[in-house]
Chains A and B, each alone.
Chain A
Amino acid sequence: MRVCFFVTCLADQFFAEAAADAVRLLRALGVEVSFPRAQTCCGQPAFNAGHWDEARRMAAHTQDVFAGCEYVVLPSGSCTTMLRAYTPRLFEGDRHRYDAALDLAGRSYELVEFLVRVLNTESVGRGLTGRRLAYHHGCHVSRELGIKEEPVRLLEAAGAKVVPWEADQECCGFGGVFSVKNAPVSLAMADRKLDTLPEVDALTSADGACLLHLAGRAKKRGLAVPVRHVASLLWEAHRGG
């Protein structure tokens, strides 16, 4: 099976090792992975800020870059949502681009979703035995893509215990430009997540942006919260057995 890896600009810059782990994991599972070099950003920040002309330019660029790929896999639920659910809305008035958006939407998968729903993976390995994890359900992953149980199942199949967390499904407060436009509210939302977080070995999620927000906030407050992208944990699960 051949996959084009869409690292996404955020993971490229801030979760580079986790993104590399995603590639290593896919390859270990027998997937052929390529990296189209012209890729940049899916355009979601502009889309969410209402700057749709700019979002369209980036979305069109992304369509062109991934035009020939059988599957596109992203280590980011949020960017996958941009391709799956939002880009078509940008092109409602442009038949050619709209069709291309639906085409790409149907070929694009978030990493865990790809493992579970396309590769039918039930376990990537047992290398997380005894680990206590908190899983943050990113809004886009859980509500827009409907991926809720899959990451938890894979982590538990690896021997980890995903502990109950009363705020696990609540928004972390990042929200792209929201985090800068209404910083105090955005931070209060992160604080609610952190204040309810149980004692764990790591906080994980399928969305780097949420983790960046939560990790930054935790650090600023002097809280010791180890944050790991789910791709890194799953690679570790594989490598460790």
Chain B
Amino acid sequence: MAAKGYKAAARRTLEHAPEVREAVTRATLHFDRNRERAYGEVEAEAWRDWAAATKRHTLSRLDRYLLEAERNLTAPGTEVHWAEDAKDAQRILQELVERYGVRRVVKGKSMLSEELGVNEHLERLGVEVFETDLGEYIIQLAGEPPSHIVGPAIHKGLEEIRALFHERLGTPPDASPETLAAVARRVLREAFLTADMGISGANFVVAETGTVVLVENEGNIRLTTSTPRVHVVFVGIEKLLPRARDLEVFLQLLARAATGQKIGTFVSLINGPRREGEPDGPEHLHVIFVDNGRTSVLADREMHEALSCIRCGACLNACPVYRQTGGHAYGQVYSGPIGIVLTPGLKDPRLAEDLGYACSLCTACADVCPVRIPLPKQILTWRVRSTKHAPATERLAFEGYAEVMTRPRFYRLSSKLLRLTAPLTGAPWLPVLGAWAAGHGALEPSPKSFREIWEEELDGA
């Protein structure tokens, strides 16, 4: 059986699927450059300060805002549900599927639905599910999870998608991207018109007005939320904004951070199900607020800022580690810097032992996060927490290292030893050097240490 965890998966990806690195690097650098330009067009620093403060405030009063949102969602006829975990969410969804006799579902892109295993559960219930975001549709055909929060299929190059569509949909093996999109469109149109239920996430829920806010570029979410007779929204409890006017900055900041756009091509503000005399919209609207570990992140003094995340993916695009393997290597719903920080908190702290090292601590993510989540600091905090389960050899190595470095005489002696054993291809007392040598060649110390040069030449000069 293949070894598990990020470390093994990253190695496998780099060795056996080098095309992933190429596709992901190209896509994320493109996103990141657009983000940089788009930040430069506005007072991004001030916007980020304000957005961060607004999210922190909202989280500090989350109980109050959730109740306010429930009141204002319910008023025009939306039904609000509360799910503590994935099982709970699945149970609520199952009730709705049974209540409305649902056979076919169209879905807008939702990372939360990945967390909850929505598609798998629906399939178990015998319901047919269509992902309608083009990227999501591609990976659904391929039987894969999304590899990026915003661009779920960015790890795939054109050739791979051509082959996939040829095999699954019978398109010509050399079909143009336009042809591929047109074929997907035809399949999905049919699904929109025949589906009984649309499922979406939500980018924001405004407490003051009970508004579900959705941002997209393809129009598939608008169709998902307005064509079928039932619309179900899965939303994390952290996605609240206090006031409608907060959207002015958040909608722009989200788009600029994610793709460098001024604003998403489609922004839907949904206030309740279809009313008397309205030509479209669902007859029934359900909003399911999901915890699934969020309250434990909120209670974590050193991690709570991570709940400010608006899922823009900017930290993934800026991350040079993410760029080498794409998101699948992390083996979790959320990848990249935000995935490293959130996943152990949402699921299991022990996951940090492996995920905490999917990071070189370069801090590029902190520079781009629109809501100023202190990601590198939090990743390091997970490492600190993980040391209590570190292998004995590692703990011993660091203890020995501290012993040497707090005794100048030991340090000088080690410095001499280093020169005696050179070249260092892996002296048995330092196995770490062997690992280094495998990728770099032997470590070559300077012929004389600085200390020796100082003593012979510089001291008193």
Contacts and interface: CB of A to CB of B under 8 A. Distances in A.
Q: Do A and B come from one complex?
A: yes
Interface of A: 7, 9, 11-17, 19-20, 23-24, 27, 35, 37-41, 43, 45-46, 48-55, 57-58, 61, 139-140, 143-144, 170-171, 173-189, 192, 212-213, 216-217, 219-220
A93 to B, nearest CB: 13
Contacts of B167: none
24 contacts: A12-B451, A13-B415, A13-B446, A13-B449, A16-B449, A16-B452, A19-B450, A20-B450, A41-B401, A48-B361, A50-B356, A51-B387, A54-B399, A55-B402, A143-B363, A171-B364, A173-B320, A174-B360, A175-B361, A177-B357, A182-B7, A183-B436, A184-B439, A219-B440
Contacts of A27: 461
A38 B438 CA distance: 33
Contact of B362 (A41, A43, A175, A177): A175
Nearest to A55: B402
B94 interface: no
Contacts of B461: 27
Q: Which of A52, A182, A185 has the most CB of B within 10 A?
A: A185
Interface in B212-226: none
A40 B408 contact: yes
A208 B138 CA distance: 44
Interface in B395-419: 395, 398-399, 401-402, 404-406, 408, 411, 415, 418
Interface string B339-357: 0000000000000000011
A186 B399 CA distance: 25
Contact of A12 (B321, B439, B447, B449): B449
A23 B11 CA distance: 42
Nearest to A214: B440
Interface stretch (B54-62, B173-181, B247-255, B378-386): B378-386
A54 B441 contact: no
B10 A184 contact: yes
A95 to B, nearest CB: 20
Nearest to B385: A50
B23 to A, nearest CB: 14
Given A27-B461, A41-B411, A58-B406, 4 more contacts: A40-B404, A58-B405, A188-B324, A213-B440
A183 B395 contact: no
B392 interface: no
A185 B384 contact: no
A171 B360 contact: yes
Given A13-B415, A17-B453, A61 B446 contact: no
A16 B450 contact: yes
Contact of B360 (A12, A16, A144, A186): A186
A12 B440 contact: no
Contacts of B363: 139-140, 143-144
Interface residues of B, number: 68
Given A20-B450, A40-B406, A43-B405, A180 B436 contact: yes
A50 B387 contact: yes
B325 interface: yes
A189 B10 CA distance: 12
Contact of B14 (A13, A48, A175, A184): A184
B361 A35 contact: no
Contacts of A177: 357
Contacts of B113: none
Contacts of B459: 35
A185 B324 contact: yes
Interface string B372-394: 00000000101111110010001
A185 B14 contact: yes
A15 B439 CA distance: 20
A165 B180 CA distance: 36
Q: Which of B362, B380, B445, B458 has the most CB of A within 10 A?
A: B362
Nearest to A42: B405
Contact of B441 (A58, A179, A216): A216
Interface string B34-74: 00000000000000000000000000000000000000000
Given A19-B450, A35-B454, A54-B399, A192 B25 contact: yes
A24 B450 CA distance: 12
